[in-house]
Amino acid sequence: MIVTATWLATAIFLGSGVEGDHQRGVLMAKGSFEVRLKPLECSMTGEAGVVLGRMGFDKTFSGDLEGVGVGEMLSARTSVKSSAAYVAMEQISGRLDGKSGSFVVQHAATMHEGEQRQTLEVVPNSGSGELAGIEGTMKIIIKDGLHFYEMHYRLPQ
């Protein structure tokens, strides 16, 4: 189950949903992160070959985003190889391009026989401190076992 959750949480690329460029106030932050997963008790049971799981996770971000993320994930893996899904909520606290605060990110991902789809969006009105009013999306890139992020975001003027 830990291997499945790790694979789900890291093997799916995240899509960016904030369109635009600097002229429209969209900024981009890049860097890397490390993730630590911890199994949690799952009150659900799967049937017909479905394995359900629940994991807690901690992340450490570096680069344009310096801080930590704490979250919880629910996952489902089917009996069909490369078909699975997960959802998660993550609170990120730290400094984004020099601005201090926190915000919550919602994850949603599916993999259907190897075809991957995922969104990672900032929860509206979840920002605090200098990040109050933040909106945006994130993309995760996995290369040679290392985790990288790109975040496209806006802050109020």
pLDDT computed for residue 118 by the predictor: 84
Q: Comparing C-alpha atoms, which of 84, 81, 85, 151 is closest to residue 122?
A: 151
pLDDT computed for residue 114 by the predictor: 79
Q: What is the residue range of 51's domain?
A: 2-154
pLDDT computed for residue 102 by the predictor: 99
pLDDT computed for residue 4 by the predictor: 45
pLDDT computed for residue 117 by the predictor: 87
pLDDT computed for residue 95 by the predictor: 99
pLDDT computed for residue 19 by the predictor: 44
pLDDT computed for residue 48 by the predictor: 87
Q: Cα–Cα–Cα angle for 55, 58, 60, nearest 5°? A: 155
**Residue 126: Cβ within 10 Å count:** 19
Helix (H, G, I), strand (E, B) or coil at 67: strand
Q: What is the CATH number of the domain that holds 103?
A: 2.40.350.10
Please list the ranges in the chain whose pLDDT falls under 70. Answer: 1-23
Q: Count up the domains in the chain and report the number.
A: 1
pLDDT computed for residue 89 by the predictor: 99
